[in-house]
Amino acid sequence: LAKTTQPISMDSYEGQEVNITCSHNNIATNDYITWYQQFPSQGPRFIIQGYKTKVTNEVASLFIPADRKSSTLSLPRVSLSDTAVYYCLVGDKEKLVFGTGTRLLVSP
């Protein structure tokens, strides 16, 4: 079972870039890396997914080094509304397991 490790919490200020790194040392060859965001009392929301190198969409970038044993979610210019829990997940057959996530607090 591919396990992920992330910082428990991070603090930032509005307008800053935030980078959250996740380690997944035993990622399998076919596994993708996916990041989700969760606000209180809501379901997790897909942010970005990647397999290798770099992926960018309208909300975030995902950097994955060649060995794929870690990944970094980059949120450019965060705002107060980005305060949430961010989860890094690695596919494991049809059993995608959430870790404890990173609680990001954005302050004015």
Q: For binding to another protein (CB under 8 A), which residues are involved? A: 30-32, 34, 36, 38, 41-46, 49, 87, 91-101
Order the strands of the 61-64 sheet from edge to edge.
18-23, 70-75, 61-64, 53-56
Which tokens sit at 23? 């380690």
CB of 15 to another protein, least distance (A): 28
Nearer CB in complex with another protein: 7/91:
91
CB of 93 to another protein, least distance (A): 6
Smallest Cα–Cα separation from 49: which of 27, 73, 30, 76? 73
CB of 69 to another protein, least distance (A): 18
Helix (H) or strand (E) holding 93: none
Nearer CB in complex with another protein: 45/52:
45
